[in-house]
């Protein structure tokens, strides 16, 4: 462990599991000196709504009328 509390995973594990910088993990203490490290999966589209709402061009989304598919 580094002086900053960072843990280094061996390169073979990072490559095998396709780990990338910025991946987040949860650590659970199992017992004295035993821990479980689990990668948190990214939530699809997390932050997308906030990003869209932050768009400087307001009114860019205009709903269009469409025909019903009930008759198809």
Q: Report the number of distinct structural domains present in the chain.
A: 1
Which residues form the domain of 43?
A: 11-53
pLDDT of residue 61: 66
Q: How many CB atoms lie within 10 A of CB 14?
A: 14
Owner of token pair 């061996």: 10
Whether 58 is covered by a domain: the verdict is no
Say how many CA atoms lie within 13 Å of 69 toward its Cβ: 0
Q: Where are the beta strands (DSSP E) in the chain?
A: 25-31, 34-39
pLDDT digits (tens, 9 = 90+) for 1-49: 899 998 899 999 999 999 988 888 999 999 999 999 999 887 777 777 7
Query: Is residue 19 within 8 Å of 9, Cβ to Cβ?
Result: yes
Whether 66 is covered by a domain: the verdict is no
């Amino acid at each position: 462990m580094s002086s900053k509390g960072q843990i280094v995973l061996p390169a073979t594990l990072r490559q095998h599991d396709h780990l990338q910088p910025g991946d987040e993990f949860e650590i659970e203490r199992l017992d004295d000196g035993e821990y479980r490290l689990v990668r948190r999966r990214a939530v699809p589209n997390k932050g997308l709504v906030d990003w869209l709402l932050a768009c400087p061009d307001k009114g860019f989304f205009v709903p269009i009328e469409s025909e019903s598919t009930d008759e198809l």
